Structure 1
Amino acid sequence: MEQYFMRTVPESETAYEHDDEGLDDMPAHIKSSMLGTSLSLPISHGQLQLGTWQGIWLGEHRTRGGSRKIVVTIQGEPI
């Protein structure tokens, strides 16, 4: 995944106008918009319901991204 994004949205591109926080600033915004910023996952009987080849990826698009927080909200009927 990282190699794909580095080819598709290179950090050395000089065409980006938004680079106030470094060369990886605008590419990080583009990569984030391509992947999305939220995820809904099915849970049944207390177990995550993913297909055989499915998984969860967490990626940082900045060279020095700083600290991040993951927020989990579980909604639904009690089991």
Structure 2
Amino acid sequence: MSGVGKSRSVLEHIADRDATSKVILWCYVIAENIILQGSKLYHWFCTTGIVYHSFILYYWNSALHLAFYLFFVIKFLNLHCS
């Protein structure tokens, strides 16, 4: 299983627990799709495969970190504001 598949399955497992997590999963899926489409455009402009793959890994990891960051921020707000 690839890194993308593993991370998505972890997020789906978390999302089964509550509605807030489902929102984070949707944010991650949207970010992942934007990044993959952007990387296809980037690849069209750049013929170097190494740059292309590093671009995908860098921005995909950024999306994953952002999704988890948002997840924990929303969880924190739910704990302290409810």
Q: Which one has a larger percent strand, Structure 1 or Structure 2?
A: 1
Alignment TM-score > 0.5, same fold: no
**Structure possessing the higher radius of gyration over alpha carbons:** 1
Q: Which one has a larger percent helix, Structure 1 or Structure 2?
A: 2
TM-score (structure 2 length as normaliser): 0.28
